[in-house]
Amino acid sequence: MKMEMPTLLSLVLLPLLLCSTLSSANMIEDLQLARPNFPSVHAEKMIRELNLSPKEDVNVIEGRDSVAGPRIVERRFRFPNLAETAVSEEDLGHHAGYYKIANSHDARMFYFFFESRKSKNDPIVIWLTGGPGCSSELAMFYENGPFTIADNMSLLWNEYGWDQASNLLYVDQPTGTGFSYSSDRRDIRHNEDGVSNDLYDFLQAFFEEHPQLQGNDFYITGESYAGHYIPAFAARVHRGNKAKEGIHINLKGFAIGNGLTDPAIQYKAYTDYALDMGLLKKSDYNRINKVIPVCEMAIKLCGTDGTVSCMASYFVCNAIFNGIMALNGGTNYYDIRKKCEGSLCYDFSNLEKFLNQKSVRDALGVAADLDFVSCSSTVYQAMLIDWMRNLEVGIPALLEDGIKLLVYAGEYDLICNWLGNSRWVHAMEWSGQKDFVASLEMPFTVDGSEAGALKSYGSLAFLKVHDAGHMVPMDQPKAALEMLKRWTQGTLSGPIADLETLAADM
């Protein structure tokens, strides 16, 4: 992959550059060639900035003997480092498991399942971290899981864990990420078909394992690159339900946090957001904006299933983002209020330290020869063809069938900023579009103060979260839990907004 890149780059970029105006072409050279723009460099930079250093780049152990067995192996466990000793394993209701992926050569998907601290009847919520190629345990320990990791490696209960309001699932995916692994390189996924089929097959096995949960409401959630995974996964579940393919999954909604879903709209929004937030002067704004027409053309060629054109648009369009960052060295692009110290934007290193302890891996049933791959640059690069594809297109059909969508975004994130997300949500064509666009923005109030601004109509809601960057549940844990509760309980928009919706319907 790495070796092919320069050839591929010149092959796909040259014709594109020749079609575009000379000034745009120069523009791209200015912005892009000045900075390394290879995906491997991007992925490695991303991993370094989170202070992660996985020992292996991907969990593919070639030659490892595959063991026959049931398609799901799940165990109740208790983290050895849990500070409180009074709670029994049974009472905790914490499970870790491996699912043998159906349509794979030899892939196993690792997952955590935390029963709700409140009620078994709470909805089931699955969380997907992005990257692509980062483990969902990043969110589990730093955003919305039951515990946080103290520096001395003991676990502390998170008062605002989403298991306060749901039965909560975290999966390591695509294959090769986290504790998920294969003995066969061909199991690495390259697109949303691969990703969503694996997740759907996992759910089938999970609900077979837990028949008493089959009637619970089910919600898909996640962040960042999961703005691609989530709509594809929701559509896959809905399709399976309609075709009576397997166990009916009670899909009620899907939520995307600071996601990448509609690249054409979102890449175009970068400079507008950066100008609004004082990251760009007007002259730089005008200069970088010259790339936009080429970028838009490239994304249009990519569409929903392009291949080479999608790779080309990744290189062309990222010149916009890189152009902004070149003028804002040291700014944390997940939270523009913050600076990255050295190469460090966040310090998530305790995650690797914690999960690689022998006592922890033994408790989880992870094999001795597997390391925890926090983020995989191999998986990241393997998904490159998928990056610029438009995942908005499958959403209207879900909304029409009454499946709820919540798009939320912390207001200080640049990389998947609220402006780009708000724009695609408003631009989306569905039967409720006019009413959604016309609906009033309402304060999202938590403990009497405004924690965000909400727009909603029918099954669609958009929430701009105040005082938060890319990782909303990390920055605003209480507001994020409230958001989840109200959204799953159908009270997000509150009684006043519901009346308005009613009035608009009449």
Q: Are residues 173 and 232 in contact, defined by beta-carbon separation less than 8 angstroms?
A: no
Q: What DSSP state is assigned to residue 9?
A: H
Minimal distance in Å, beta carbon 83 to ligand NAG? 6
Minimum gap (Å) between residue 348 Cβ and ligand NAG: 17
Nearer to ligand NAG by C-beta: 295 or 363? 363
- The Cα 423–Cα 304 span in angstroms is 19
313 as an active site residue: the answer is: no
Minimum CB distance to ligand NAG, residue 472 (Å)? 24
Q: What is the three-state SS of 457-480? A: ECCEEEEEECCCCCCHHHHCHHHH
Residue 85 binds ligand NAG, judged by CB under 6 A: no
Q: Which is nearer to ligand NAG, 7 or 152 (CB)?
A: 152
Cα 121 versus chain centre, distance: 26
Smallest distance, ligand NAG to C-beta of residue 151, A: 7
Give DSSP secondary structure letters for 387-435.
Answer: TTS--GGGHHHHHHTT-EEEEEEETT-STT-HHHHHHHHHH--STTHHH
Query: Which is nearer to ligand NAG, 147 or 200 (by Cβ)?
Result: 147
Instruction: Provide the b/e sequence for 239-277 (b: ≥16 CB within 10 Å).
Output: ebbeeeeebebbbbbbbbbbbbbbbbbbbbbbbbbbbeb
Residue 154 Cβ, how far from ligand NAG at the closest point, in Å?
4
Contact 324, 280 (CB under 8 A): yes
Q: x/- site string to ligand NAG, residues 92 to 131, per CB under 6 A?
A: ----------------------------------------
Give me the least distance between CB of 147 and ligand NAG, in Å please. Answer: 12
Q: Strand 449-457 to strand 460-465: parallel, antiparallel, or no bridges (unpaired)? A: antiparallel
Q: Do residues 279 and 331 lie in contact, with contact meaning Cβ atoms separated by under 8 Å?
A: yes
445 binds ligand NAG (CB under 6 A): no
For residues 154 and 328, which CB has a smaller minimum distance to ligand NAG in the complex? 154
470 is catalytic: yes
- Nearer to ligand NAG by Cβ, of 157 and 430: the residue is 157
User: 310 to 349, contacts with ligand NAG by CB under 6 A?
Assistant: none
SS3 (DSSP) at 492: coil
CB 324 within 8 A of CB 274: yes
Establish if 214 lies at the interface with ligand NAG (CB under 6 A). no
Tell me: does residue 154 bind ligand NAG (CB under 6 A): yes
Catalytic member of 57, 172, 262, 413: 413
Q: Is the Cβ of residue 88 or residue 152 nearer to ligand NAG in the bound state?
A: 152
- Cα gap 476→265, rounded to integer Å: 27
Q: Would you count residue 152 as binding ligand NAG (CB under 6 A)?
A: yes
Smallest gap, in angstroms, from Cβ of residue 158 to ligand NAG?
13
**Which is the catalytic residue, given 94, 470, 475, 493?**
470
Interface segment toward ligand NAG; rule CB under 6 A; list 121-129, 148-156, 464-472, 483-491: 148-156
Q: Is 413 a catalytic residue?
A: yes
Task: Name the pairing type of β-strands 155-157 and 124-128.
Answer: unpaired
Between 150 and 367, CB nearer to ligand NAG: 150
Residue 290, both tokens: 């010259």
Distance of alpha carbon 247 from the chain centroid = 25
Q: Using the rule CB under 6 A, which residue among 11, 87, 150, 427 binds ligand NAG? A: 150
Q: Could you tell me which stretch among 67-75, 137-145, 146-154, 243-251 binds ligand NAG (CB under 6 A)? A: 146-154
Closer Cβ to ligand NAG, 152 or 283, answer by number: 152
Catalytic residue among 136, 182, 224, 439: 224
Helix (H, G, I), strand (E, B) or coil at 176: coil
Choices 149-157, 298-306, 323-331, 405-413 (CB under 6 A): range interacting with ligand NAG? 149-157
Contact in structure between 390 and 263 (CB atoms under 8 Å): yes
To 10 degrees, the CA torsion angle through 392, 397, 398, 400? 130
Say how far apart CA 130 and CA 380 lie, in whole Å: 10
> In the complex, what is the shortest distance from the CB of residue 157 to ligand NAG, in angstroms, rounded to a whole number?
11
Amino acid in the structure at residue 266: Q
Q: Which is nearer to ligand NAG, 34 or 150 (CB)?
A: 150
CB of 149 to ligand NAG, least distance (A): 10
Interface stretch with ligand NAG, choices 89-97, 119-127, 147-155, 215-223 (CB under 6 A): 147-155
User: Does residue 240 sit in helix, strand or coil?
Assistant: helix
Q: Distance of CA 326 to CAs 34, 158, 329, Å?
A: 9, 37, 6
Binding site for ligand NAG (CB under 6 A): 150, 152, 154
- Which positions are catalytic? 224, 413, 470
